[in-house]
Structure 1
Amino acid sequence: MKLLENRSVLQSVFLFRIKYGIGIIGIGLLLVFSCGHTPEKGSGRPNVLIILADDMGYGDLGAYNRHSKVPTPNIDKLASQGIMFTEAYCPVAVCSPSRYALMTGTYPWRSWNKSGAMKNYERSMIAPGQLTLPQMLKKAGYETAGFGKWHLGTLFPTTDGKKPAGYGAFYAEDNGANIDVSQAVSDGPTDRGFDQWLGFSSPSECWILDGNRIMGSVIHKKYTIDAASGTENLEKIPLEDYLPFITEKSIDYLREYSKKENDKPFFLYFSPYVPHVPLAVHPDFIGVTGAGAYADYVHELDHYVGQILDELERSGLKENTIILFASDNGSQFGTKNPGDNMPEGTRTDTAGHKPNFPLRGGKWTAYEGGVRTPLIAAWPGHFPAGVKSDQLFGLNDVMATLAPVAGYELGNGTTTDGFNLLTAFQGENDNKRTSIVVQSSSNVYGLRDGQWKLIKFPKKGRNTCYELYDLQNDPSESNNLAEQYPDKVGKMKSELHKILEGSSTTR
């Protein structure tokens, strides 16, 4: 893993110019950068903005679902300005693992955390020395900033040298009782490539970090820091104010960046805790949609995404910024219909709105409603506008896809499970990825291979059960064809096991 070596610079720059239309001046600046110097702003390398929603369904956006009861004009506008992927994957139906895939280009079950969201105060999912997306961009000369939710592990200091109170749980009455709020945290976002970070590591821990320092806490109805000491001077932010708070800070970052001269390109990671439960809709948005609190929360998210996109335009940054929008998994809300097999805990108070429409299942499941995400990629003049692509894409492909644009050469095996799918962002479909592994919140795995999808359901004390679906003709996974196509099941079963047991990248 290294910056482009001088001996290959001319060839790399030539290809870069052909792909991105950079003029002679831009090529000169790229040559300077490639020889180990920082290019000036506007050199042709784009800024990168990634917006990652939390538990938002495939069918929440009007651009993806004309039956959606949620007004999402800002994200829909972004979709009209970029390319929409209709078959993109998280590829795990729960928060932490999908974020790990995005940040490392690797399937999360290759980490120590084989399934499920990370619990309070657990160590990082990211292995020591493992390259992350922000580290890659930082090495390539970018400045990196993140706001919102990390949820990949941070080590907190304690007053007694023991594990933090509440360790390994999602809820504990004595949460954080022995946290030493005066000391710096470690192995968190700023140790994984972010120059700036403002947000929490895990929402149920409550602590808000400014860099590697605890600056405040988010106030939940359920989660508290009441048992902790030394918190008198920390800022307390009610959950319903958290989205406006991180949006304002993100906008401040963009404004300050736009004032800089001859500076680095930026990577901005905007990761709001919305529309994840508890639904903390700001009073200004309660009842606006008429489709329940969940719909109001999605609409509120769209409003603040719009503020960030507007600031990009006002600051003159939009033309040279790649914008990616996705969700970390499907929604846990939905109208429960016969055959949906929605897990226990699924919420249905959506006034007829179907967040995962037209897909089956939702968060926690390996069905499409749990693992398929809306994905929008926009870069004016470089990515096509207002088109749709059915190219398979996983969040684990983002790192490898952005590397050549940033001018960074990934070493072999750095992103074990990611492909460079930049041509897909450009509107081409060259089938570099034809399959992808998906996973529920537990040990249910699936393999999407072309139009087919196999799901493996382990059964305690019984033989493993397999389901097979033809997604081209049955996107709602309503017709299990496993008994009709035993040869297809056998072939895909073998391929799935090969990937799970080995280290080879899926096709």
Structure 2
Amino acid sequence: MKALKEIANEKAAKFWLRKYCFSSVIALCILIFTSCTEKKEESNTLPNIILILADDLGYGDLGSYNDQSLVPTPNLDKLASEGISFTNAYCPVSVCTPSRYALMTGTYPFRSWKKSGVLANYEPSMISDDQLTLPKMLQEAGYTTAGFGKWHLGATFPTLDGLKPAGYGQFKSENNGENIDLSKPIENGPVDKGFENWYGFSCASECWVMDGNTIVAALQHEFYNIDSAEDKEHIEIIPSNQYLKLLTKKSIGFLSERFRSTDRSPFFLYFAPYVPHIPLSVSDEFIGKTKAGSYGDYVAELDSYIGQILDALESSGQADNTLILFASDNGSQFEKTGLHINNANPSNDLTSVKGKNNNSEEHHPNGKLKGSKWTIWEGGVRMPFIAKWPGKIPSGMKSDKIFALNDVMASLSSIVKYDMPNNTAIDSYDQSLNFMGKEKNIRNAVVVQSSNGQMGLRKGDWKFIQPDNNDLQGQLYNLAEDESETNNLIKEQYKLGEKMQKELFDIIAKTRSKN
């Protein structure tokens, strides 16, 4: 009997031991699952970010900004209807390199070594080695970063002879690429500034396209070539009218990869196509699609491919947790386009700009704004800016608050809860509240600049432009009453002009805009 009792007790002990162990394992699994879920949910609280930067697109190209536009832009108009559109957003320079610098660093470009104009072929990076960039900031905040398209902020290219690349500092050279070493990586380019993934060129006139920091292709350009380059048999030649399609495909490929990945970290996608910059390389299927000539066709093509990216995002189920930003790097170089106007071979300078007419068959890329790319007037420096984030940003709202492209960095740092060091993004203001439709006067003023270095200040309703050789007194406009800058009030409001000029000079002289 004793032996039977001991056996029974032993069986009972084993039963309760097994039950305890099983319960512990279940509890441990639940704990691990809960922890992973919490981490995943914590990760998912940070939005994915898609930043689309058009190249030389005007304030009046989009139907949502200009009801007289002759260009159908249904995808960007839909984006505007689902988000907020800023009507007083600035580049803040009327050409691409400095505006891209402001976007990527949150700093006015006049504080860099390049005081005016754009970078020429093979010039070094405008971004200093210790300068925090937008993609680097997001990378440090836990984002997977990718960029496709145009960089134009400088890089260092390897050469066969150890000398500077042929054509260095020029915009066109007959022996372009002659001494480029295509077997070695570039340095100090997009990958070194925060992009884990990059496909695109640094400067269009150089032609070279990089995958990461490796030269893999060249843009087949109407104005430039790589005929003099050596050992280029492995280099893919990309027709300029296929480049937008390729960038879109690669961008969607990146999105698909992120959606399939088990890594749930948020992503940052920078889509920076070379459109509608000249040459107007419209693909065959979009030629003649608009009443605004080849320029209008190119803008319509851009809208279509942006639509493909947004559709891919929507079909993935990630749209609700994605913040989308759209902007242009400066105004359009064309003041008018149309079926009756030949814009086939314009020069890439101010001499190609023609004035507007009151003609219903004309499309005005910069809308009612005066000037164009390269100029200090609103047509050169004011841009469309749209932000969409479902459930966070009101739909169909318009904001007249002053916004600058350099504000993107501080605004995103606030949204992703990144503690930005005090010495970075020194001219960037956190406009995240205005993104959410709160309508706060966060930016008091913005410095604007033409391609030749002429400076101006937009403050409140007023805009001051400093004197130059053609206008010794300067210019002063009340933009609330005179958006087209037709009535120079510098003589009537001379004291105000003096005050704004002093404020402009103070901002330039200081090491930062913010206190």
TM-score by length of 2: 0.88
Q: Which residue of 1 aligns with 2:395?
A: 385
222 and 262 in structure 1: CA distance in 2 versus 1, 3 angstrom threshold: closer
Separation in structure 1 between the aligned mates of residue 37 and residue 428 of structure 2, nearest angstrom: 25
Tell me if structure 1 keeps the 8 A contact 2:426–2:514. Answer: no
Separation in structure 1 between the aligned mates of residue 426 and residue 513 of structure 2, nearest angstrom: 6
Q: Please give the secondary structure, in 1, of the residue aligned with 2:466.
A: strand
Separation in structure 2 between the aligned mates of residue 138 and residue 112 of structure 1, nearest angstrom: 26
Separation in structure 2 between the aligned mates of residue 194 and residue 344 of structure 1, nearest angstrom: 36
Output one character per residue of 1:149-185: Cα deviation in whole Å (capped at 9) or x when no partner. Answer: 0000011000000000111011111111100001000
Displacement after TM superposition at 1:29 (Å): 8.6
Equivalent AA in structure 1 for residue 178 of structure 2: A
Displacement after TM superposition at 1:356 (Å): 0.3
Output one character per residue of 1:30-84: Cα deviation in whole Å (capped at 9) or x when no partner. Answer: 996xxxxxx5686210011000000000000000000000000000000001000
Equivalent AA in structure 2 for residue 59 of structure 1: G
**1:364 to 2:365 alignment:** no
57 and 30 in structure 1: CA distance in 2 versus 1, 3 angstrom threshold: farther
Q: Please give the secondary structure, in 1, of the residue aligned with 2:474.
A: strand
Q: Please give the secondary structure, in 1, of the residue aligned with 2:351.
A: coil
487 and 148 in structure 1: CA distance in 2 versus 1, 3 angstrom threshold: same
Aligned pairs, how many? Answer: 468
Separation in structure 2 between the aligned mates of residue 160 and residue 41 of structure 1, nearest angstrom: 52
Separation in structure 1 between the aligned mates of residue 473 and residue 373 of structure 2, nearest angstrom: 21
The sequence identity of aligned pairs, in percent, is: 54
Separation in structure 1 between the aligned mates of residue 373 and residue 232 of structure 2, nearest angstrom: 35
Displacement after TM superposition at 1:346 (Å): 1.4
Q: Which residue of 2 aligns with 1:74?
A: 75
Q: Which residue of 2 aligns with 1:345?
A: 352
Q: Please give the secondary structure, in 1, of the residue aligned with 2:352.
A: coil
Q: Which residue of 1 aligns with 2:438?
A: 428
Output one character per residue of 1:385-425: Cα deviation in whole Å (capped at 9) or x when no partner. Answer: 10100010000000000002212111113111010010000
Equivalent AA in structure 1 for residue 479 of structure 2: L
Separation in structure 2 between the aligned mates of residue 204 and residue 437 of structure 1, nearest angstrom: 29
Q: Which residue of 1 aligns with 2:177?
A: 176
Q: Please give the secondary structure, in 2, of the residue aligned with 1:154.
A: coil
Equivalent AA in structure 1 for residue 498 of structure 2: G
Identify the range of structure 1 (165-174 vs 451-460) with the bigger mean alpha-carbon deviation. Answer: 451-460
Separation in structure 2 between the aligned mates of residue 224 and residue 77 of structure 1, nearest angstrom: 38
Displacement after TM superposition at 1:317 (Å): 1.4
Q: Please give the secondary structure, in 2, of the residue aligned with 1:409.
A: coil
Equivalent AA in structure 1 for residue 288 of structure 2: G
29 and 355 in structure 1: CA distance in 2 versus 1, 3 angstrom threshold: farther
- Please show how residues 56-135 of structure 1 align to structure 2 within 5 Å: 56-135=57-136
Equivalent in 497, 502, 506 of residue 498 of structure 1: 506
Output one character per residue of 1:419-446: Cα deviation in whole Å (capped at 9) or x when no partner. Answer: 0010000001221112100000012111
RMSD, aligned α-carbons: 2.0
Displacement after TM superposition at 1:488 (Å): 0.2
Output one character per residue of 1:451-498: Cα deviation in whole Å (capped at 9) or x when no partner. Answer: 0000013228xx843100000111100000000011101110100011
Output one character per residue of 1:274-329: Cα deviation in whole Å (capped at 9) or x when no partner. Answer: 00001100011111103210000000000000000000001111110100000000
Separation in structure 2 between the aligned mates of residue 489 and residue 189 of structure 1, nearest angstrom: 41
**1:487 to 2:488 alignment:** no
Tell me if structure 2 keeps the 8 A contact 1:30–1:43. Answer: no
Q: Which residue of 2 aligns with 1:213?
A: 214
Q: Which residue of 1 aligns with 2:9?
A: none
Q: Which residue of 2 aligns with 1:290?
A: 291
Tell me if structure 2 keeps the 8 A contact 1:435–1:506. Answer: no
Equivalent AA in structure 2 for residue 324 of structure 1: L
Separation in structure 1 between the aligned mates of residue 373 and residue 467 of structure 2, nearest angstrom: 16
Separation in structure 2 between the aligned mates of residue 249 and residue 76 of structure 1, nearest angstrom: 24
Q: Which residue of 1 aligns with 2:4?
A: none
Equivalent AA in structure 1 for residue 509 of structure 2: E
Equivalent AA in structure 2 for residue 492 of structure 1: M
Displacement after TM superposition at 1:344 (Å): 2.1
Q: Which residue of 2 aligns with 1:239?
A: 240
Separation in structure 2 between the aligned mates of residue 31 and residue 470 of structure 1, nearest angstrom: 53
**1:323 to 2:338 alignment:** no
Equivalent in 424, 427, 433 of residue 414 of structure 1: 424
Q: Which residue of 2 aligns with 1:471?
A: 479
Tell me if structure 2 keeps the 8 A contact 1:499–1:506. Answer: no
Output one character per residue of 1:92-132: Cα deviation in whole Å (capped at 9) or x when no partner. Answer: 00000000000000000100000001100000000111000
Equivalent AA in structure 2 for residue 503 of structure 1: T
Tell me if structure 1 keeps the 8 A contact 2:473–2:490. Answer: no
Tell me if structure 2 keeps the 8 A contact 1:164–1:177. Answer: yes
Separation in structure 2 between the aligned mates of residue 457 and residue 151 of structure 1, nearest angstrom: 30
Output one character per residue of 1:191-216: Cα deviation in whole Å (capped at 9) or x when no partner. Answer: 00000000000111000000000011
Q: Which residue of 2 aligns with 1:194?
A: 195
Q: Which residue of 1 aligns with 2:459?
A: 449
Q: Please give the secondary structure, in 1, of the residue aligned with 2:309.
A: helix
42 and 130 in structure 1: CA distance in 2 versus 1, 3 angstrom threshold: closer
Tell me if structure 2 keeps the 8 A contact 1:49–1:267. Answer: yes
Separation in structure 1 between the aligned mates of residue 42 and residue 433 of structure 2, nearest angstrom: 25
Identify the range of structure 1 (404-413 vs 362-371) with the bigger mean alpha-carbon deviation. Answer: 404-413
- 5+ residue gaps in structure 2? 1-34, 338-348
348 and 308 in structure 1: CA distance in 2 versus 1, 3 angstrom threshold: farther
Separation in structure 2 between the aligned mates of residue 223 and residue 474 of structure 1, nearest angstrom: 41
Separation in structure 2 between the aligned mates of residue 297 and residue 368 of structure 1, nearest angstrom: 23
Q: Please give the secondary structure, in 2, of the residue aligned with 1:311.
A: helix
Q: Which residue of 2 aligns with 1:14?
A: none
Displacement after TM superposition at 1:347 (Å): 5.4
Equivalent AA in structure 1 for residue 195 of structure 2: F
Tell me if structure 2 keeps the 8 A contact 1:70–1:295. Answer: yes
- Please show how residues 151-166 of structure 1 align to structure 2 within 5 Å: 151-166=152-167
Equivalent in 404, 412, 416 of residue 402 of structure 1: 412
Separation in structure 1 between the aligned mates of residue 402 and residue 36 of structure 2, nearest angstrom: 34
Tell me if structure 2 keeps the 8 A contact 1:459–1:465. Answer: no
Q: Which residue of 1 aligns with 2:44?
A: 43
